[in-house]
Chains A and B, each alone.
Chain A
Amino acid sequence: MSNRYVIKKIIGALLTLFAVVVFNFFLFRIVDRDPLSKYRGRSKLSLEQREAMIRRMGLSGSKWDQFVVYIKSTLRLDFGRSFDSTRPVLREIADRLPATLILVGISTALTIGIGLYIGAKAGWARGSRFDRVSTSGTMVLYATPEFFFGMLLLAIVAGRTGWFPTGGLRDIGANYGFVDSLLDRAHHLVLPSLTLTLGYLGSYSLIMRTSMLETLGEDYLTTARAKGLKESDVMTHHAVPNALLPSVSVIAISFGFVIGGAITTETVFSYPGLGLATADAIRNTDLPMLQALFLVASAAVIFLNLVADLTYGLLDPRIRHST
């Protein structure tokens, strides 16, 4: 991969990030003319307290002054205080970030891995029983809101059998040793990550299936067969590596969906991560939290897109070797 390609992609990502930051200002300071009016406790504020709050939120002065203040504090990662808990937003986010990272990380890895596998197999054996069953299955998965899926899992697995906890990050009040505590957390992760994984499996497998179908007629597959390769090797050594390429860029775009899915999934399972924080912030109209959460989600997606672009560069020798 040439340096120029890498640098170009990194600069592109930074520009998009900057655009998001500006857009964020636009939303919360211009579309919303009076953010403070959304603060529920405002009636109890004294005049001085109100003034102080306006100053602290950077709401005084001209729009340009506000913009400068906003950019400066964003660079310092200072997002103000939560309307709800009155703690610094950064602290709230830092506290909840790990839980979400684990959940989204596991689910993304699983959903991409399983989705690509099913899609590749279905596309390769197009029209076969496996193709028909898996394609109908993935269409139904695609049509199911992931939170409804989570509710079903809760009702069936957790509610009926009690095999899994119905929510939370860990057992409250229990006093476990290190290993038990890890196991306990994993136990709490099973249903949420299953929900998120199944929720987005459909899109990934449909993407890969399409990509595979486009590869089926390629001449190099005939070459591979002529050489005497087994069909399964023709598929794994030749068809899949080529079909992966177009998938990678489409997959990059869909990272945003999994991140969106985390919001509802965490809500269903009361799993205390950034998703649940978002749901709470919606119900409390907690603008400072929402503003920061939006930035974090966008930054995450932009970062994952960058990773996908660089992966694409690694996978495709036509880019890797270009100068």
Chain B
Amino acid sequence: MSDSVASISPRGMTWARRKRALARVWRELRNDRSGFSGLLILLGFGLVALCAPLIADRSLLLAAAGRNNPDLAGPSAKFLLGTDDIGRDILAQLVWGSRVSLFIGIFATVVAVLIGSLVGLVAGYVKGKVATVLLAIDNFFLVVPFLPLAIVLAVILGRSPVTLALVIGFTSWAGSARLVRAQVLSLSERGYVERARALGANSRHVILRHILPGVAPLIIANATLIVPGAILTESTLSFLGFGDRLSPSWGKLLDGAQSSGSITLNAWWYYLPPGLCIITVVLAFTLFGRALERIFDPRLAGR
């Protein structure tokens, strides 16, 4: 109600303020060497993932594609990174693998952040029994070892990449719920939420207009730090046998490298590239996320 009366100028002001804030974030990011290089690396990998069909034909992933090629052949002009144990081009798998790995990592993070923010917002906003129950659930998910839990869920629910992403998301939201709840509590303490409520705003309005904007930067920084964890979990699950060999993620490539005995056969072109890709992307996300954290939370500056 009060919203519609004074909608034009305050909202315009809000937008102007957000634009300024965004400009500030960009400026500080540009000056943060490690954070900015993390971002550049990520953009590079993102580009490769998007352009995968232009770089290598998808049919190269089929089992049949390797039939006439030598198995476990070293790098050559024809196969820049050699072939796997059934003769498929490893570079092609690596390029397409970036799609699978990044997709699962990001999709899982979206799921985790959605659940985590929802639980955190509600647990921080309402008091009483609901909050207690939510906190107990959150605590449970923090304590239960998440890899065994993810394994069990994936075995029961199925092994496709989408299921894996859902499973990873479902097992990694507890930390963000904590974080979001703490931030909501500290925002409420500053009192203007009470004021908005006293003015007759309903909960939905208070959460969307007053709390969410205050929590959003934190959620974004936190999400950037969940992605690397999700990518690592995905690679672990794939290494343990989940996922699809015909549309392999980097972790799945490592699984293939391990089970085909490439290590004892010294076929480094099989296991080295996917491992290095995982490390690089995880590191880039971590650097970028920590930079965002520093920018959004000045108390952490200098860390």
Interface residue ranges, A against B (CB under 8 Å): 16, 19-20, 23, 27-28, 31-32, 38, 126, 139-140, 142-145, 147-148, 151-152, 154-155, 159, 166, 210, 213, 253, 255-257, 259-260, 263-264, 267-268, 278-279, 282-283, 285, 287, 290-291, 293-294, 297-298, 300-302, 305
Please give the distance in Å from B234's CB to the nearest CB on chain A: 10
| A residues less than 8 Å from B149 (CB atoms) | 294
| A residues less than 8 Å from B147 (CB atoms) | 256-257, 259-260, 263
| B residues less than 8 Å from A144 (CB atoms) | 275, 278-279
Chain B, interface residues (CB within 8 Å), range: 35 or more
Decide: A297 near B148, CB < 8 A? Known: A147-B254, A264-B240, A279-B241: yes
Which of these binds chain A: B21-29, B71-79, B182-190, B256-264? B256-264
Provide the main secondary structure of the chain A interface. Answer: helix
Could you list some 15 contacts between A and B, CB below 8 A? A23-B140, A28-B152, A144-B278, A148-B275, A151-B254, A154-B264, A253-B142, A257-B145, A260-B146, A263-B148, A278-B148, A283-B241, A291-B152, A294-B149, A298-B143
State whether B283 touches A139 (Cβ < 8 A): yes
Decide: A27 near B143, CB < 8 A? Known: A143-B282, A147-B254: no
Q: How far is the CA of A155 from the CA of B261 in the complex (A)?
A: 11
Q: How far is the CA of A55 from the CA of B159 in the complex (A)?
A: 28
State whether B240 touches A282 (Cβ < 8 A): yes
| B residues less than 8 Å from A28 (CB atoms) | 152, 156
State whether B241 touches A145 (Cβ < 8 A): no
State whether B264 touches A159 (Cβ < 8 A): yes
Q: How far is the CA of A283 from the CA of B255 in the complex (A)?
A: 12
Q: How far is the CA of A142 from the CA of B287 in the complex (A)?
A: 12
Q: How far is the CA of A285 from the CA of B242 in the complex (A)?
A: 11
Please give the distance in Å from A248's CB to the nearest CB on chain B: 15
Decide: A27 near B257, CB < 8 A? Known: A256-B145, A264-B240, A282-B151: no
State whether A260 touches B228 (Cβ < 8 A): no
Give the residue of B144, B232, B241 whose beta carbon is less than 8 angstroms from that of A282. Answer: B241
Please give the distance in Å from B238's CB to the nearest CB on chain A: 10
Q: How far is the CA of A166 from the CA of B239 in the complex (A)?
A: 18
| B residues less than 8 Å from A166 (CB atoms) | 264
State whether B145 touches A301 (Cβ < 8 A): yes
Decide yes or no whether B153 CB sits under 8 A from chain A.
Answer: yes
In addition to A31-B153, A145-B254, 14 A-B residue pairs with Cβ atoms within 8 Å of each other are A143-B232, A143-B280, A143-B283, A145-B278, A147-B254, A148-B271, A213-B303, A257-B145, A263-B240, A282-B240, A282-B241, A290-B151, A298-B143, A305-B143
State whether B266 touches A302 (Cβ < 8 A): no
State whether A16 touches B275 (Cβ < 8 A): no
| B residues less than 8 Å from A259 (CB atoms) | 145, 147-148
Q: How far is the CA of A220 from the CA of B229 in the complex (A)?
A: 37
State whether A301 touches B144 (Cβ < 8 A): yes
Decide yes or no whether B109 CB sits under 8 A from chain A.
Answer: no
Residues 181-205 of B, flagged 1 when their CB comes within 8 A of A and 0 if not, give: 0000000000000000000000000
Decide: A31 near B146, CB < 8 A? Known: A140-B283, A143-B286, A166-B264: no
Q: How far is the CA of A294 from the CA of B254 in the complex (A)?
A: 25
| B residues less than 8 Å from A155 (CB atoms) | 263, 266, 268, 271
State whether A154 touches B263 (Cβ < 8 A): yes
Decide yes or no whether B126 CB sits under 8 A from chain A.
Answer: no
Closest to A302 in B: B143
Please give the distance in Å from B239's CB to the nearest CB on chain A: 6
State whether A264 touches B236 (Cβ < 8 A): yes
**A-B pairs with the 10 shortest C-beta distances?**
A260-B147, A256-B145, A143-B282, A148-B275, A143-B283, A297-B148, A32-B156, A301-B145, A143-B279, A155-B263
Q: How far is the CA of A256 from the CA of B271 in the complex (A)?
A: 27
| B residues less than 8 Å from A293 (CB atoms) | 148
| B residues less than 8 Å from A20 (CB atoms) | 140, 144
Chain B contacts with A in 280-301, Cβ cutoff 8 A: 280, 282-283, 286-287
| A residues less than 8 Å from B302 (CB atoms) | 126
Decide yes or no whether B117 CB sits under 8 A from chain A.
Answer: no
Give the residue of B236, B254, B279, B303 whose beta carbon is less than 8 angstroms from that of A140. Answer: B279
State whether A301 touches B157 (Cβ < 8 A): no
Chain B contacts with A in 166-224, Cβ cutoff 8 A: none
Decide yes or no whether B80 CB sits under 8 A from chain A.
Answer: no
Please give the distance in Å from A170's CB to the nearest CB on chain B: 19
Q: How far is the CA of A262 from the CA of B251 in the complex (A)?
A: 17
State whether B228 touches A143 (Cβ < 8 A): yes
Give the residue of A19, A213, A287, A301 whose beta carbon is less than 8 angstroms from that of B155. Answer: A287
Q: How far is the CA of A291 from the CA of B268 in the complex (A)?
A: 36
| B residues less than 8 Å from A19 (CB atoms) | 140
